[in-house]
A and B are shown apart, each in its own frame.
Chain A
């Protein structure tokens, strides 16, 4: 039982656990203290100073985010002096900021902007002193604009401690301090895996995705093109909150309606391709279990994870599933299967995806992702970009009716939809693998052991007598921990305790992806995930192999899982990358028929 401490905040008595910060105590007492650099999911840095409070007996105010409570402490959170200090801090930040709100990717989500509005700051109070630095556009996925950086330090903590990629650091000292890569070589020449978590935690527009909005508008407004769109599972559980609905509300019908309003010709669904991925991957898992190797099988639908694997764990490449991600499987089929069925010249098809992910922009442009004969996925829009497009077109999601997708590549099962949550791919795969191995259906479809926000989850599954140990990790730091263990096991004993591992680069899984709305806390991610599980439970079909659209595509086009056509279009290979510059070194797996 932790010791409790009593203190007074603005005259109100509050009792909290010893070791709590003043900010946490204030929250408990229902008192709001403005903050800026503070983020509930990261350790406080104390960089901005906005959260300072007066403490009786202390000669200077202290930061409430990182000052622990003491018994009998008397805190004042709001005084004339404190309000002046907070305004001055914001004025300082604005004097060193490229203020271009209307065109800034963080407009209306920017925490500096909302704080300035909340405090009522005179933006011209101090001389402007910004010394412009060049924008880093070396990366396909992420743009770094140092002129908007407030040096809160969140991105550096996320990249180094949460994701353990260490592509960025704080360089130089004092006013020259900036977030930078090794020798300023740019994100595109660093070990950055494009996970985009930095863009989600970044409170301003300093870190954001490379925008493809204009490219998509051009395609939509080009009468010559047939624009097809797919949307990731997470989108339907996230869109609503950007239009004032409760977090975790699933708005799939309105999502289709919105896309049609924007002008997309065919509105499909990535969930269809997720079911497809399950067919191919469960088949792969069954094959490997039968032959005994190479196990564990590791999922491959997270492109941030894939680049991470290629950079830091290329020795485990042969364990990674050869399956493409749902996005890329869809892309390959859109310009072959769909083009054939609809009688459209594939060269006229523009394939767009709406993803909660920045790494998907990189994935779509990997040189081997052209199995259709064209670039399989042309443009990728993050959730953030999609929302901006809707708002700029005056579309209010709440007001739209529920519509249906185009069924050919739009029908999906509950297994497809839970891909968006950590543990979802694992669960979906097991539902089908069970049937593939035993010929019977899995009765209890809710494998709760692999659900939830714990960083590494393990479970031992009983597949009709066959004991299968599985593990799920989300967030690359957790992935590193799990895989280091697996690597050691294999080095020492030749095998690992696990048969199947799911890795998601982002905490929470895709609902917490790098392309999701800025400010997505872990709590919000968990609620979005719950929304997806709710949708799954409500659907009539919850197993990928029971999806009629899936049955059709195999019957009419692919033959069976693992067939030659399936291999050509739906499977891929991986490289080894330099772990300090991210550049490609050599291919480490092969793609040919009958690989396993």
Chain B
């Protein structure tokens, strides 16, 4: 099974405090640490496990600036066979559709049976996978939390839906899947692992290497453009209870009684 996994370098939400910068144009990036998008990491682990089971290879591709190379390398340290970085000034500012367009061009340069993305990334949109699938005319399933290889023509996948239920479907290969966290337990990648792949060649693909319509990518091609970042006016919010702990508890008990919280 030839597998392509799309990964993204994002600010680590656990180890950062995300704040809007002083002029509202971006988030404050000075002290941020970055890592591979958590959902994408689950996807790479899943790809590696599938490859170890049925054979084939895993290729990791990232669309971003030069620094994005570090996440491609990290995923290769984890066990991916190949890595690709898609980077060019002309691609900066692409919206989700632009990124999907770039990825489509990458896909067309290879032969992939299965393409995985993470269910969502830092922007919380979860769109690239579905868009890529539609552009390629291949079936798609999102929020996948289980993959079973039936044969070389189809897979059985489980999707995480409301209520913690799992929607089971059969999907034809080649296809695209977006992966939900918790599908597996990703293996650890330590500094030693990364050093082992430190000198591996990761090809960079730019405008000259990919067959893309310049009008479809970059800021110019974006149909959805971000205007600013802001922190919403807090508005009313909750009535905050003040006073000593005893006083607060007294007030709280009154409220609970009134609202039927105590039986």
- A and B interact physically: no
Could you tell me which B residues sit within 8 Å of A by CB distance? none
